[in-house]
Amino acid sequence: MKFQQIYGHKKPIAILKSAMAGNRVAHAYLFYGREGVGKKTVASVFARALNCPGADPPCDVCTSCLKAEHKNHPNIIEIAAEGQFIKIDTVKEIRAKMAFRPEGGKRVFILQDADKMNAPAANALLKTLEEPSADNILILTTARPHALPITILSRCQALPFAPLQKAEVAGFLREKQGFAADEAEAIAAAALGSIGGAIEMKKEDYMTVRNGILKRLAEDDPSDLIKRIAFARRLGTEREEISQRLQIMLSAYRDSLVWKETGEKEMLLFKDWAKAIEALAERLSGREILKNMALVGNALDAISKNSNKTLTLEAMLVRLA
């Protein structure tokens, strides 16, 4: 893959290409942004470029690029957590490899979800960052930069990865994943700028789940608390699926507020469910919609902090306007 084949992220890519052109590549980078936004993809292409002898690297045809494509390039080392954490032994292996010069190019270590380093691993990595080597490059990727020690953050060149535009995500889904145009638009609207998130939605049959939630909201009877509590069970049992389904609810309330204020279908995230959104907007006042958005947002925050899932969802649904 070449830089120009990456969807979005023109600013960080321009910074990286400029650093290569001026021979000013940093010894350590922090790529941060939401899950699935493309940090690892850019890191992988950057690593290829640092080892490609072509005039406009990466060229995708040289021996180095082909090795990288087949995941057997000795200079490109991807590291992920084993279980819950990245442990100190993994960082020690990095330090051991750094003791030897690479055979041409740059040796690049890509630490995925670097915030998963436990304390001993983070301390060991800090020693590595304090002794930079011109032949070894560290790229840390994370969706939670605040979870990394400030001592590590201060020794990395930080590059933010903003969420992609909806059109960019939809384009990727159509062109690379074979999505129909309407499905690509609907999923891109809900993916919040994350290609990885959009792909996961397809795997989990997101459209079926979304349609069920929107139908339930459109038909909601505030006086029927039994149905509301039963609905809580349909929001899932795992943190990731609950968060996704709460985000659908949040987007639906957002759309209802937009409809109430503008009446413009084209401004909706869920344009294909405009009638349900209109019904929701007619049933609730603007103040009630804002209250519901706050309740769903609070539930999302609580779920992310490992609060009791059942109690959180049932309390939210009982309190919805």
Please write down the HEC assignment for all residues of 178-190.
CCCHHHHHHHHHH
Tell whether the model's pLDDT for residue 194 goes beyond 80: yes
Torsion, Cα 231 237 243 246, to 10 degrees, reads: 0
Tell me what percent of the residues of the chain surpass a pLDDT of 90.
61
Give the end of a domain, one of 125, 140, 160. 160
Same domain (yes/no): 155, 10: yes
Residue 174 lies in a domain: no
User: How far is the first Cα of the chain from the last one, in angstroms, to the nearest whole number?
Assistant: 49
What is the mean predicted confidence (pLDDT) over 92-105? 89
For residues 71 and 209, membership in a common domain is answered with no
Distance between CA atoms of residues 314 and 85, nearest Å: 32
Q: 210 and 156 in one domain? A: no
Residues 245, 140 share a domain: no
Digit-coded pLDDT (tens) for 167-189: 999 999 999 988 888 888 888 88
Of 285, 284, 266, the C-alpha closest to 274 is: 266
Contact 121, 86 (CB under 8 A): yes
The answer to whether the beta carbons of residues 37 and 160 sit under 8 Å apart is no
Residues 16 and 155 both lie in one domain: yes
Instruction: Report the CATH number that the domain containing residue 212 is assigned in CATH.
Output: 1.20.272
Host domain of residue 296:
204-319
**Final residue before a domain boundary, out of 160, 188, 222:** 160
- Domain tally for the chain? 2
Q: Are residues 12 and 137 in the same domain?
A: yes
Ordered DSSP codes for 166-213: HHHHHHHHHHHH---HHHHHHHHHHTTT-HHHHHHHHHTTHHHHHHHH
Q: pTM (2 decimals)?
A: 0.78
Q: Are residues 13 and 154 in the same domain?
A: yes
Mean pLDDT lowest among 82-86, 161-165, 175-179, 220-224: 220-224
One domain for residues 218 and 130: no
Which own/partner contact pairs does 12-15 have at CB distance under 8 Å and 24+ positions apart?
A: 12/42, 12/159, 12/160, 12/161, 13/42, 15/159
Q: Are residues 86 and 215 in the same domain?
A: no
* 173 belongs to a structural domain: no
Residue at 198 is within a domain: no
Strands (E), 235-280: none
Specify whether 33 is located in the same domain as 122.
Answer: yes
Q: Are residues 17 and 152 in the same domain?
A: yes
Task: Return the residue matching tokens 């959180």.
Answer: 312
pLDDT tens across 282-291, in order?
999 999 999 9
- CATH number, domain at 111? 3.40.50.300
Q: Specify if 195 maps to a domain.
A: no
Domain boundary among 108, 131, 160: 160
Q: What distance separates the 2 farthest-apart alpha carbons in the chain? A: 71
pLDDT at 223 over 90: no
